[in-house]
């Protein structure tokens, strides 16, 4: 799972200011460490969605940090798709041609608020020479 480091700064009203060094636009507040991670995850997902919609690069998470927040699996797959498209200089129109799909179906793959089907994400990545592999790890 893609995890971004977050910083928690104790505020004077028993809350934490939560920021993400890799994504300066991420700022939220929380009353506990658990809430901080939850709120940071939501804020990070919003930030990467905005970056993708604006055609801006989405950075890899930096290493380290005492705290981190994860993005969801579908968000991570869409980040990979977005990065690959930009890295290869492929347009959505070219991806549409390779897949033989309608334009709206391709556009939905890049909308982070749309729950794309895994088989569609898989097909798009395969059309760009990528393969999805599933790895699980214990979180205990």
- Each residue's pLDDT tens digit, 23-41: 999 999 999 989 999 999 9
Second CATH level (architecture) for the domain 73-127: Orthogonal Bundle (1.10)
CA distance 17 to 10: 6
Q: Where in the chain is the domain with CATH 1.10.260.40?
A: 73-127
Q: Where does CATH 3.30.160.250 sit in the chain? A: 3-70
pLDDT, tens digit (0-9, with 9 covering 90-100), for 97-107: 999 999 999 99
What is the spatial distance between Cα 61 and Cα 59, in angstroms, rounded to a whole number? 6
Q: Which residues contact 127 (CB under 8 A, 6 or more apart)?
A: 95, 98, 99
pTM of the model: 0.89
Enter the CATH code of domain 3-70. Answer: 3.30.160.250
């Amino acid at each position: 799972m893609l995890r971004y480091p977050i910083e928690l700064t104790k505020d004077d009203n028993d809350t934490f200011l939560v920021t993400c060094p890799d994504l300066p636009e991420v700022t939220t507040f929380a009353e506990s460490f658990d809430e901080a991670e939850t709120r940071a995850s939501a804020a990070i997902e919003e930030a990467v969605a905005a970056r993708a919609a604006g055609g801006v690069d989405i950075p890899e998470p930096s290493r380290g940090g005492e705290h981190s927040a994860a993005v969801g699996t579908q968000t991570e797959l869409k980040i990979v798709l977005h990065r690959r498209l930009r890295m290869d200089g492929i347009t959505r129109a070219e991806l549409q041609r390779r897949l033989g799909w309608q334009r709206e179906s391709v556009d939905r793959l890049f909308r982070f608020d749309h729950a794309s089907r895994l088989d569609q994400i898989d097909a798009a990545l395969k059309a760009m020479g990528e393969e999805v592999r599933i790895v699980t790890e214990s979180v205990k």
